[in-house]
Amino acid sequence: MTGEHPDFLWRSPEPKSSYEVVIVGGGGHGLATAYYLAREHGITDVAVLERGWLAGGNITRNTTVIRSNYLWDESAGIYEHSLKLWEGLEEELGYDLLFSQRGVLNLAHSLQDVRESARRVNANRLNGIDAEWLEPDAVAEICPILNVSPDIRYPVLGATLQPRGGIARHENVAWGYARAADALGVDLIQGCEVAGIELQGGRAVAVDTSRGRIAAGRIALVAAGHSSVLAGLAGLRLPVQSHPLQALVSELYEQVLDTVVMSNAVHVYVSQAHKGELVMGAGIDSYNSYAQRGSFHVIEHQLAAALELFPLFAHARVLRTWAGIVDVCPDASPIVGLTPVEGLLVNCGWGTGGFKATPGSGSTFAWTIAHGEPHPLNVPFSLDRFTTGALIDEHGAAAVAH
């Protein structure tokens, strides 16, 4: 992108009294859904309602890791679809996302890890996803500052590599989608909290908001950690629990890490942003919370893991820590599709892995909204899998704990 950055990337219209589609939640997935509804399906009578400001939630609170090296076919399908969209997204949106395919390493620290990694690499390849197994010396070549010596508590026994994985600048992703959706006629309405969902004869027909009643042909909830609260307005209980997921950045340093390193066993994932911060994250806090903050011991544990793997980081200082509220399903896989309430759709449960899925989630969910039936890639992620038992258990399978 060249030239001066514009003062405004989108309009701030007053909400109309009625839309064909109302999307509740102005985060990455909601904005992407709106964009693909307008772009792919010609549905432009769309409002995105955001309680706070656009991209104030998880889309700007994640650690920006992008990959598709999931074990199960269903997950591989949607995450690889997403990664393919990432690969053309800057051109499509005409907006710089600092998308960098610098490769993602998933470290193995035990014999079990090694076997699981080999299985995952093979599964990935069968699904057409780039994946390699690397011995420790090859890992050290890619990431020289990683401690691969055998005398640490959990030595690095090797790693999987997805070369096409990487990072992107997350707020640009939200702004890029917002700008493009706005240009196609979508109304992005901030400071608009949904306080009620109006049902008529069992069908969701309108939302009651802090800016008045808005009727809708279809209502799509894309609210991550607040999905349970919103679904509850329509009398719907979701198999979702909200937890804090913390992350941190260091002060700015010269570039020392040009790939993404993830370790499930000692549990930390780290990359270095273009600006120079080391960006780290780990697992969720155990307890339910809507607080966007977590407990310090979670930070302490991930830093201990990071220091053992990267002795150089002992010199680094933490600049900021924060949390987002992630919505976790019992099988650590998302729910994308229709609900028992007619006219009401839901896209939630992305848990700790939603950022990478933003394009794929938005594009398939838009298809699902437009067609009134699940996109083929969404079928396995329907709400009824909890009744049929066809869970997609990515807890331990997804290369890092979800």
Partner 1 sequence: MLLIPCPWCGERDEVEFSYGGQAGVAYPLDPEALSDEEWAEWLFVRDNPKGRFVERWVHTQGCRRWFDLVRDTVTHEIAR
Residue closer to partner 1, measured from CB, 255 or 387: 387
Tokens standing for residue 169 = 């600048």
In the list 51, 120, 179, 226, the residue contacting partner 1 (rule: CB under 8 A) is: 226
Residue closer to partner 1, measured from CB, 53 or 287: 287
Q: What binding mask, one character per residue, do residues 292-331 give for partner 1 by CB under 8 A, x or -?
A: ---xxx--------------------------------x-
Distance of CA 162 to the CA centre of its chain: 18
Answer whether 317's CB lies under 8 Å from 251's CB.
yes
In the list 82, 117, 124, 241, the residue contacting partner 1 (rule: CB under 8 A) is: 241
Measuring CA to CA, which residue among 343, 399, 390, 381 is closest to residue 81? 381
| Distance in Å, CB of 33 to partner 1, minimum | 22
| Distance in Å, CB of 239 to partner 1, minimum | 4
DSSP string, 21-44: EEEE--SHHHHHHHHHHHHHH---
Q: How far apart are the first and last CA of the chain?
A: 35
* Subset of 379-398 contacting partner 1 (CB under 8 A): 386-388
Distance from C-alpha of 222 to C-alpha of 33, rounded to nearest angstrom:
9
In the list 209, 242, 271, 368, the residue contacting partner 1 (rule: CB under 8 A) is: 242
Tokens standing for residue 245 = 């997921």
Residue closer to partner 1, measured from CB, 227 or 259: 227
* Subset of 161-220 contacting partner 1 (CB under 8 A): none
Answer whether 101's CB lies under 8 Å from 157's CB.
no
Does residue 347 bind partner 1 (CB under 8 A)?
no
Distance from C-alpha of 367 to C-alpha of 377, rounded to nearest angstrom:
10
| Distance in Å, CB of 345 to partner 1, minimum | 18
| Distance in Å, CB of 329 to partner 1, minimum | 8
In the list 240, 279, 316, 357, the residue contacting partner 1 (rule: CB under 8 A) is: 240
* Subset of 244-303 contacting partner 1 (CB under 8 A): 286-291, 295-297
- Which amino acid is it at 398? A
In the list 217, 239, 276, 311, the residue contacting partner 1 (rule: CB under 8 A) is: 239
Burial 371-390 (b: 16+ CB within 10 A, else e): eeebbebbbbbbbebeeeee
Answer whether 136's CB lies under 8 Å from 36's CB.
no
Distance of CA 262 to the CA centre of its chain: 16
Binding site for partner 1 (CB under 8 A): 226, 228-229, 237-242, 286-291, 295-297, 330, 386-388
